[in-house]
């Protein structure tokens, strides 16, 4: 039979486990799938790719993405496919594409407008129709965000939920799972998740248990209350019986770096007690999120409009609260403004808050409040607060998989703005280059497994994450001696090296190092 593509002479790492050694073989692709694996020197194909001296592995699964809106704005997802990412798991940290009712939709309006997304929707089913119509280069998996559920049912108020509101949340979650969501995510440092109680989360976790779903969480603390936050994850998993996953496991702030050993002990004790608990991590020691995450939790009550009013009318109280938490001036030099909305403040991008405040001749906390007011909260920042030894220790753990914690962007167009975290352009090549080839933190086979077969198992993604006959042809062809990230914090829009070809559902989205423009991604319900 004739094949669509034949990849010859490559060394296949199949992604099945950490000990899958490279085997030289050819891969025949037809109708989106891997049809045969073997020696096909004399078999015809429409197109033949010579992968001599190169490795072939399953497409990387980015377990922690935030692309629900950027993919609607620009489905090319160039920053991801150039890394070898063929599947994204979205809807993390409590924020997903749906449900979007009432206050939840209102809270997203500025973001949608900034991306020039003119369509509006309420449910996952409506969103899926839009995404399929527009098309995207990567496969799309989603979780249901707890923030969406709570805001749609009860707004952004800091209050215990009524029975009616809890029932409405469960109904929204059931609808999301029926539509194809893989589970529930929480973002417990963001509104409205920050206002939730543990029993509320247990109840929702019990709901997804009915669908064999997974519970993922940006924990309530990743710094001073880190150990207590891990305990809460374990409590939710134990009481609901649900599979749990900690997003971007980290120890923020130097005073907390020493807690990592205790974190590992808690996770591994829970695993020994029968709880399914895993985590993900990006290969950088700086995090990235909204700048207003610095503010105290009470500032977020009532949504963006109320938060902005407090920034104006309760300014001194907010400044005092921030300074009491962060009294040392050196704190401000570890925060870099990565993107703003207005043209007049573009000069701030790539500069630390300490530098911006010095140029503006204002104290850093006053500069912080001014920026948030002027930009109407639409400010992203990068926080340099982690430790390289801890990062490597986390990467070594057999239950850690790789997630970029970033949205899919391209190198031109509406998503090519600001100075976003370089993890959106370099996470996966960085693991294979710096942490595998250069530092030996992982073997090549184990690194591939952590980015392919293991995440497919954790998130129950069938027929992907491995190279086997009958599986979908999501493939990466790369040079293990040259693969490397190039994105920098001050220059993130840089293409990685060493990735030659990327296939999604049997269609090349990257061929000979160049983006093809194809949009063959599927929604994996």
Identify the structural domains of the chain with CATH numbers, from first to last.
Answer: 3-57+467-480+496-515 (2.30.40.10), 60-285+386-458 (3.20.20.140), 291-383 (no CATH)
Tens of pLDDT, residue by residue over 430-443, are: 999 999 999 999 99
Instruction: Mention every residue, 6+ apart, whose C-beta is less than 8 A from residue 76.
Output: 136, 137, 410, 413, 515, 517, 519
Q: What is the pTM of this model?
A: 0.97
Mean pLDDT of 137-166: 97
| Amino acid 41: pLDDT | 78
Structure tokens at 279: 């985590």
Tens of pLDDT, residue by residue over 201-221, are: 999 999 999 999 999 999 999
- Percent of the chain residues past pLDDT 70, beyond the cut: 100
Mean pLDDT of 362-374: 97
User: Alpha helices, DSSP H only, in 375-422?
Assistant: 388-396
Q: Across the chain, what does the average pLDDT equal?
A: 97
Q: For residue 45, what pLDDT band results from cuts at 50, 70 and 90?
A: confident
| Amino acid 43: pLDDT | 82
Taking 90 as the threshold, does the pLDDT of residue 244 lie above it?
Answer: yes
Taking 70 as the threshold, does the pLDDT of residue 424 lie above it?
Answer: yes
| Amino acid 1: pLDDT | 59
| Amino acid 466: pLDDT | 98
Burial annotation 349-367 (CB, 10 A radius, 16+ → b, else e)? bbbbbbbbbbeeeeebbeb
| Bridge partners (DSSP) listed for residue 29 | 5, 34
Instruction: Mention every residue, 6+ apart, whose C-beta is less than 8 A from residue 108.
Output: 69, 100
| Amino acid 430: pLDDT | 98
Mean pLDDT of 347-364: 97
| Amino acid 486: pLDDT | 98
| Amino acid 304: pLDDT | 95
Q: For residue 65, what pLDDT band results from cuts at 50, 70 and 90?
A: very high
CA distances from 270 to 248, 261, 264, 454 (A): 18, 14, 10, 19
| Amino acid 46: pLDDT | 85
């Amino acid at each position: 039979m004739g094949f669509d593509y034949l990849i010859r002479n490559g060394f296949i790492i199949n992604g099945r486990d950490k000990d899958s050694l490279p085997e030289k073989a050819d891969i025949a692709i037809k109708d989106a799938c891997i049809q045969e694996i073997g020696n096909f020197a004399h078999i015809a194909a429409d197109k033949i790719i010579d992968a001599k001296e190169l490795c072939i592995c399953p497409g990387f699964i980015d377990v922690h993405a935030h692309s629900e809106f950027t993919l609607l704005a620009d489905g090319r997802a160039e920053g991801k496919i150039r890394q070898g990412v063929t599947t994204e798991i979205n809807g993390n940290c409590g924020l997903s594409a749906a449900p979007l009712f009432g206050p939840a939709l209102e809270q997203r309006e500025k973001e949608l407008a900034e991306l020039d997304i003119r369509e509006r929707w309420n449910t996952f089913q409506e969103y899926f129709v839009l995404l399929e119509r527009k098309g995207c280069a990567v496969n799309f998996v989603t979780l249901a965000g707890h923030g969406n559920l709570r805001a749609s049912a009860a707004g952004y108020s800091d209050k215990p939920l009524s029975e009616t509101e809890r029932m409405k949340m469960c109904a929204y979650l059931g609808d999301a799972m029926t539509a194809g969501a893989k589970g529930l995510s929480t973002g417990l440092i963001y509104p409205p998740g920050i206002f939730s109680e543990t029993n509320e989360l247990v109840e929702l976790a019990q709901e997804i248990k009915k669908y064999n779903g997974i519970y993922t969480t940006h924990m309530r603390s990743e710094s001073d209350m880190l150990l207590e936050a891990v305990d809460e994850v374990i409590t939710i998993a134990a009481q609901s019986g649900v599979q749990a996953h900690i997003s971007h496991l980290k120890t923020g702030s130097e005073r907390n770096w020493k807690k990592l050993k205790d974190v590992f002990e808690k996770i591994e004790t829970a695993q020994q007690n029968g709880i399914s608990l895993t985590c993900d991590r990006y290969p950088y020691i700086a995090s990235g999120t909204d700048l207003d995450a610095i503010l105290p939790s009470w500032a977020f009550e009532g949504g963006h409009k109320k938060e902005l009013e407090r920034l104006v009318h309760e300014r001194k109280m907010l400044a005092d609260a921030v300074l009491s938490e962060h009294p040392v001036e050196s704190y401000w030099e570890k925060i870099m403004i990565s993107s703003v909305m207005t043209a007049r403040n573009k000069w701030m991008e790539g500069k630390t808050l300490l530098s911006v405040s010095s140029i503006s001749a204002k104290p850093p906390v006053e500069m912080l409040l001014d920026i948030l007011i002027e930009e109407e909260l639409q400010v992203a920042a990068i926080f340099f607060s982690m430790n390289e030894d801890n990062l490597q220790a986390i990467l070594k753990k057999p239950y850690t998989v790789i997630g970029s914690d970033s949205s899919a962007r391209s190198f031109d167009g509406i998503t090519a703005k600001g100075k976003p975290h370089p993890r959106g352009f370099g996470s996966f090549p960085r693991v294979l280059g710096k942490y595998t080839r250069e530092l030996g933190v992982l073997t090549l086979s184990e690194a591939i497994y952590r980015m392919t077969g293991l995440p497919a198992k954790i998130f129950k993604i069938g027929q992907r994450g491995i190279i086997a006959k009958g599986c979908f042809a999501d493939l990466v062809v790369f040079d293990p001696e040259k693969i490397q990230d190039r994105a920098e914090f001050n220059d993130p829009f840089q293409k990685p090296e060493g990735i030659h070809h990327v296939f999604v559902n049997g269609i090349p989205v990257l061929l000979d190092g160049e983006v093809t423009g194809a949009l063959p991604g599927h929604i994996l319900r």
